[in-house]
C-alpha cells in the first residue's frame, strides 16, 4: 500500500529542527555582536544595548502578530523571569567570547549547559515540563558533547 505524503509533511516533521538550528546560528551571531560591543565598552553596557534593541524588536514582532490566545489563563509567575537568564547569557557570553575560549568554546560549553539543564528538566519536570524517563542515548549524549568540548577547547 502506498502512503501519500503531503507537501506540508516535511515542514511539519523537520520544521522544528530547522528552527532550532536557525536559533542556534542566531545565538552565535548575537554572542559575536555583543562581544564586539563589549570590546568597545564593557559587558554590562553591551548587555543593556542588546536587550534594549531586543525589546524594540520583540515589541514590533508582537504588534505584527498580536492575537488573542484561546486560553486566557495567566502563565505561572516564574515564566516572566525569562529575561533574567537572557541578560546573564548576553553578559557572560560577552566576557567568555573575549577569553581563550573564543566563540567556539563559548558556544560548545553553552550547548553542554543547555543539554544538562534540558536533561534535568526532562527527568524532574522542572519549570512545568512533563517528566520523562531518561533513556540510554540521553546518558550517552552529554559525555559525548563534553568530549567534543574538550577536543575543541584543548585540542586533539
Q: Express each pLDDT in 53-103 by its tens digit.
A: 999 999 999 899 877 666 678 888 888 888 888 888 888 888 898 889 999
Number of domains in the chain: 2
Q: How many residues does the chain have?
A: 156
Same domain? For 104 and 94 the reply is: no
Other CB atoms within 10 A of residue 89 CB: 18
Confidence of residue 3 (pLDDT cuts 50, 70, 90): low
Same domain? For 90 and 149 the reply is: no
How far apart, in whole angstroms, are the C-alpha atoms of residue 99 and residue 114?
20
Rounded to two decimals, the pTM is 0.73
Same domain? For 106 and 34 the reply is: no
How far apart, in whole angstroms, are the C-alpha atoms of residue 144 and residue 120?
17
Amino acid at each position: 500500500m502506498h502512503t501519500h505524503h503531503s507537501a506540508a509533511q516535511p515542514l511539519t516533521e523537520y520544521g522544528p529542527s530547522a528552527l532550532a538550528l536557525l536559533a542556534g546560528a542566531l545565538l552565535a551571531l548575537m554572542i559575536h555582536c555583543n562581544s564586539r560591543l563589549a570590546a568597545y565598552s564593557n559587558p554590562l553596557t553591551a548587555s543593556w544595548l542588546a536587550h534594549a534593541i531586543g525589546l524594540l524588536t520583540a515589541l514590533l514582532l508582537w504588534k505584527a502578530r498580536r492575537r488573542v490566545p484561546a486560553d486566557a489563563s495567566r502563565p505561572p509567575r516564574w515564566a516572566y523571569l525569562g529575561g533574567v537568564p537572557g541578560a546573564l547569557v548576553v553578559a557572560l557570553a560577552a566576557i567568555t567570547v573575549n577569553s581563550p575560549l573564543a566563540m567556539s568554546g563559548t558556544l560548545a560549553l553553552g550547548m553542554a549547559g543547555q543539554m544538562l539543564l534540558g536533561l534535568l528538566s526532562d527527568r524532574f519536570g522542572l519549570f512545568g515540563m512533563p517528566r520523562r524517563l531518561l533513556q540510554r542515548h540521553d546518558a550517552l549524549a552529554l559525555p559525548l558533547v563534553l568530549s567534543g568540548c574538550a577536543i575543541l577547547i584543548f585540542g586533539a
